[in-house]
Structure 1
Amino acid sequence: MSIFAPASFAQGPTSQDVDRAQLLQGQTQPPFGPSVTPGGIEDGRAAASPNDADIGQQEILKRVTGYQPFTASLACPIFYTSNVALTRSGELSDVVIAPVAGVFYDPRITNTLYGHFGAREQVFYYGQYHSFDFGSLDAEAGLSYVLPQFHNLILRGEYDFNRLTFGDRLGDEFFSNHELIFNAELPFRFSRAQQLSVGGDTNISVGADHQRPRRNDYEGYLGYSVNLTRAFTINAVGRVVARDYHQNGRTDVSEILSATATYRLTNWWSVSAISSFAHNDSNQDVFDYNVANVGGAIALSAKF
């Protein structure tokens, strides 16, 4: 029997239950939100620009004729995870199926200011250790602002409500959290198909129904993306995250590496290979762990 069987929640969720949910969610959800960058790439294609006549023929990227603020998406990652319970020793491995659905509205308010409103639900089903199954619902709203005069610096602010449930039982909640997210990202474009991004996040929990798993995250990251062809994209990200828990004096530092290769079969259908590795060091040794995930995903997405 799993050490995180539902009966163990009688005294409230453990921090590892919530950590596991947030770690997997962050590494398996596709980027449903607005993907227009200051360099003019939208979903791996060159966005229309008044200067297009001066660029000449685009050999790799095709033009997007107009901005489409609505997105509806379905995806299903399937992956192997090496450490189901995020334990220091005695690791259990399993296969996870994690279907996710999302709807988003990202209005362009000005040429440099975008809104963001969205909702998504993802359920994680474990192949062998079913007591680990959980669902995650997010409702989010925010703004993104681009500063062209500062090397196209991107500033983002967002409110996110996250609700975790046992399996797919949407009424059986074990944790909910209200969070404010602040992000700054500086892109460096090497060509119309390559970009390096340096950024930082601050995630502040402003309210939660259980205090032991509640935490603030402070993150720095370096990301690289390249469109090798019109349809094939590779993304790689390295992150360092400091996690400050609200109770028990616990502080963790996590290093996370992830890579994704995506092939777009059509404008609305894509397949991906996904992988990640996370190493966690805590000032309380019992929370140290390593975990690797590798698998694939299929996604359907419509923009309008």
Structure 2
Amino acid sequence: MLFFISANKGLAQTANQAQLAREQAPSPFPPTTPPSAVEGGHVVAAPGDADLGEQQILKRVEEYQPFTISLGAPFYWTSNVALTRSGEQSDFVVAPAAAAFYEPRITPTLFGLIDVREQLFYYDKFDSFDFGSFDVEAGFRYLVPQWHNLLLRVEYDYNRLTKKDSFEAFFQNHGFIVNAEIPFRLGRAQQLSLGADVNISAAAEESGQPPSPNVNAISARRNDYEVYAGYSVVLARSFFVNAVGRIVVRQYWEGDRTDVNEILALTANYRVNKFLTVSAVSTLAANRSNHSIFDYNVANLGGAVAASLKF
């Protein structure tokens, strides 16, 4: 058994590195307004809403558009390609993404969610790290206006990590996500959001590993427990800044491994028009594990271009 785990260690680290790289990378899409957030007959703007502070009548909600098609392309320098404790190597990454979202309004405060997303990560010098990430999500979002517009989410997420220029998977995960978030308006142009979520892996499959029930042999499989705080300020009608701080406890199924991951994301966004947004993006992350070999720090700095169409 020890020989088997050792023989697959390199592959498992690749799957884990890819998971962490995509989760700590700058987002391909800027934040948007929650569709159901209404307060006093006006849409409540969330972090990323370039119209924060503008009075928006309830008619906007009555003309709710459930479909969104989004394209995005972050490009950034990363300080630690392999997410290692020592011997860090930097590189330049381009990570184009495409997504389709369907969020039907079931009741005035209950929304469904179905989305399909694909993102590809291309490294300049270390192209052996190239990979793709494909997601399908389905769930519900429920707004509780009487509780300070508390937003509750329950979702199923299928994630498939794929090899370079291929849809062949080297890791697959079925997860269930429960999230709660509450916004606080700070005047007309600022908002603070506090939230927590749990992401439980219900099943996983990794290339080269034995099938279930040997789940403990899948070393990239984990459960995540997270708290976060987000701040947004609109400095002009089309220019807004976001900051999000996250603390994530990652509990791995194998090896009695538990990591604590701290992530800070900063973005400055300019909305060119209702379809196109350009951004300066950055993320800083520090990982500390009960097995110090998995400790690392990483910085990602760059920009992003995103286009979105609602109908």
Query: What TM-score range do you get, normalising by the shorter chain?
Result: 0.7 to 0.9
Q: Does 1:96 align with 2:102?
A: no
Q: Map 1:258-277; keep pairs closer than 5 Å.
A: 258-277=265-284
CA contact (8 A) 1:116 1:141 kept: yes
Q: Report the 3-state secondary structure (helix = DSSP H, G, I; strand = E; otherwise coil) of the residue aligned with 1:136.
A: strand
Which runs of 5 or more residues in structure 2 are unaligned? 1-5, 207-217
Count of aligned pairs between the two proteins = 284
**1:139 CA drift (Å):** 0.3
**1:245 CA drift (Å):** 0.3
1:245-301 CA distance string (max 9 Å, x none): 011100000111111111010111110111010000000011000000000011111
Distance across 1 between alignment mates of 2:257 and 2:17: 16
Distance across 2 between alignment mates of 1:282 and 1:165: 26
Match of 2:179 in 1: 183
**Runs of 4 or more off by more than 6 Å in structure 1?**
none
**1:33 CA drift (Å):** 7.5
Letter of the 2:102 counterpart: Y
TM-score (norm 2): 0.85
Match of 1:84 in 2: 81
1:107–1:144 CA distance, 2 compared to 1 (3 A) = same
CA contact (8 A) 1:77 1:298 kept: yes
Distance across 2 between alignment mates of 1:32 and 1:10: 42
TM-score (norm 1): 0.87
**1:206 CA drift (Å):** 0.2
1:67–1:118 CA distance, 2 compared to 1 (3 A) = same
CA contact (8 A) 1:48 1:65 kept: no
CA contact (8 A) 1:165 1:173 kept: yes
Distance across 1 between alignment mates of 2:310 and 2:17: 31
Q: Map 1:103-118; keep pairs closer than 5 Å.
A: 103-118=100-115
Which runs of 5 or more residues in structure 1 are unaligned? 1-8, 53-62
Q: Map 1:55-204; keep pairs closer than 5 Å.
A: 66-170=63-167, 172-204=168-200
Q: Report the 3-state secondary structure (helix = DSSP H, G, I; strand = E; otherwise coil) of the residue aligned with 1:86.
A: coil
Q: Does 1:281 align with 2:292?
A: no
Match of 2:209 in 1: none
Distance across 1 between alignment mates of 2:50 and 2:138: 24
CA contact (8 A) 1:177 1:208 kept: yes
Distance across 2 between alignment mates of 1:230 and 1:65: 23
Match of 1:247 in 2: 254
**1:21 CA drift (Å):** 2.5
Match of 1:298 in 2: 305
CA RMSD after TM alignment: 2.2
**1:22 CA drift (Å):** 2.8
Match of 1:56 in 2: none
Q: Report the 3-state secondary structure (helix = DSSP H, G, I; strand = E; otherwise coil) of the residue aligned with 2:236.
A: coil
Q: Map 1:200-219; keep pairs closer than 5 Å.
A: 200-210=196-206, 211-219=218-226
Match of 1:3 in 2: none
Q: Report the 3-state secondary structure (helix = DSSP H, G, I; strand = E; otherwise coil) of the residue aligned with 2:89.
A: coil
Letter of the 1:229 counterpart: A
Letter of the 1:244 counterpart: Q
Distance across 2 between alignment mates of 1:232 and 1:33: 13
**1:114 CA drift (Å):** 1.1
